[in-house]
Structure 1
Amino acid sequence: MRLRSAVGLAIALTVLCVVSIGCGAYAVYADWTTWTLMGRLLSDPGAVGDADLGRGESLILLAASVQSKALIVTCVVFIVWFHRVRTNAGVFASGSDKAASGAAVGARFVPSAKLWLPYRIAATTWESSRPLRADGGYRSFPSTLVNCWWGAFVAARVLGWCGGLAYRLAESPGAVRYTATAMLVGDVLDIVAAVPAPLFALRLTAMQRTKSAQGPVVAAVHL
């Protein structure tokens, strides 16, 4: 087993996260437009025409389409990067974690585990990748980035899924306005999650790069 550079993947993931933030901002605008539109409809039905309603629905559908496509591409790159750094961590601390590197990919597709296993793997990978100090001890790298990223990501996914389902089932202006609120909060959390994600990726990649340069590692090459 040998180390493989994750620098290019981390940079690509950073770019995609910036794109996702832009898509999230557009989704927030669509949610806010729908929320205010439903508020006007509830207070004065005659002030809202069919064209306004059609525009609001088009905004929501376009935002959902753009956001889902960006999310898919970002997730694909993230999974490849995640598998790469997990494999590297296995070289740094062989046998220290029972979770195989393949779980870094498979965990995201197991419904009952995808909200917990990736976080556990990320946390153990972070710990295994800490560089050494001059005295031989491990340098301190708080896992705040891991916790903030995963917490915001899970909250955004749950709210987004619930809001999207409720929007499809909503039949009254009040119900649509309520679901728009849930989607708005979820999309804001998406933006929040997209900020620590590349910071986490770049920091972890840099940690592994530093650790690989500190001395020989069994069956490894420098990143």
Structure 2
Amino acid sequence: MIEQESVPAGPPRPLRPLRGAARCAVAALALAALAWSVRAVWHLRLAAAGEPASGPPDQGDGVHRPLNALEDSYHLVSSAGAGVTAVCAVVFLFWLDRARDNAEALTGSAPRYGYGWLWLGWIVPVANLWIPRGVVADVHRSVFPERPLPAVVNWWWGLWLLGLAGGVGIIYADDTDEVIARAYHEVTPLLAADLVIVAAAAAAALMVHTLTTAQQEHIARKGY
């Protein structure tokens, strides 16, 4: 069973510092947005250059021609972007882990989803369509249980799901050479995917700032 009932969590947990983790998360999300923006620029450069007369990098039947300078630089941009995105995911989850622990300390009840779902909720098929948003929602409800979620949470989650379906899926279903060939002939879907991911990162950064500020102000009012 994925969702668990809210039950007393035992002795109160100490509150964990959150602002530093939030600043790191916002900075990491900004870098991820920059990385995907650079990727979009390279997609445009490839489209403008056009496919060489020698054809796509992947010639089929296991044959790959030598890359030109622009294609080689795209490989570097793509690898750097993947690395930045991975670091961003770790830093974001580090912030969410702290915010979730503080939510448990403030409510005195165990969260709806067990600790493992903080990590597994992003990768388990079907469950990843709602659990991460639920974990974030618990953070908000620890401060304002009677209020609806801030709009930025729904914007972030909608953009994330759109990117998961139409952005990350498009790009990572193919290897880098196949993406280069796609940029030569049908760059618009790639640019749309880039735009969605950049927007999702921006919404996530605003969400981190909004929820952190609300939780910290609540803690200050209560005198914890």
* Partners of 2:47 and 2:183 within 8 A in 1: no
Amino acid in structure 1 at the alignment position of 2:43: D
Mapping 1:106-121, distance limit 5 Å? 106-121=120-135
Q: Does 1:26 align with 2:33?
A: no
Is the deviation greater in 61-70 or in 154-163?
Answer: 154-163
**3-state SS, counterpart of residue 214 of structure 1:** helix
What does residue 124 of structure 1 align with?
A: 138
Please, which runs of 5 or more residues in structure 2 have no aligned partner? Answer: 1-12, 55-66
- Listed one character per residue, the Cα deviations across residues 87-116 of structure 1 (whole Å, up to 9, x for unaligned) are 111122233742124422332242332232
What TM-score does the superposition give when structure 1 sets the normalisation length?
A: 0.76
Alignment RMSD, CA only?
A: 3.1
CA apart distance, 1:199: 1.3
Distance 1:83 1:27, change over 3 A: same
Q: Which structure carries more helix by proportion? A: 1
Q: Is the 8 A contact 1:3 1:87 kept in 2?
A: yes
Aligned equivalent of 2:154, options 147, 167, 191: 147
SS of the residue 1:213 aligns to? helix
Q: Find 1:164's aligned residue among 172, 176, 193.
A: 172
Q: C-alpha distance in 2, partners of 1:206/1:62? A: 37
Q: Is the 8 A contact 1:123 1:143 kept in 2?
A: no
Shift of 1:23: 1.0
Q: Normalization by structure 2: what TM-score?
A: 0.76
Match of 2:112 among 98, 101, 113: 98
Answer yes or no: is the 8 Å Cα contact 2:14–2:105 preserved in 1. Answer: yes
* Deviation, structure 1 residue 161: 2.5
Work out the percentage of aligned pairs sharing the same amino acid: 22
Query: 1:171, CA displacement in angstroms?
Result: 10
Q: Do the aligned partners of residues 174 and 90 (structure 1) sit closer, same or farther apart at CA in structure 2, a change above 3 Å counting?
A: closer
Contact in 2 for aligned 1:170/1:176 (Cα 8 Å): no
| Aligned residues of 2:183 and 2:190 also touching (Cα < 8 A) | no
Distance 1:7 1:27, change over 3 A: same
| Residue equivalent to 1:81 | 95
Aligned residues of 2:78 and 2:176 also touching (Cα < 8 A):
no
Alignment partners' CA distance in 2, 1:101 and 1:211: 23
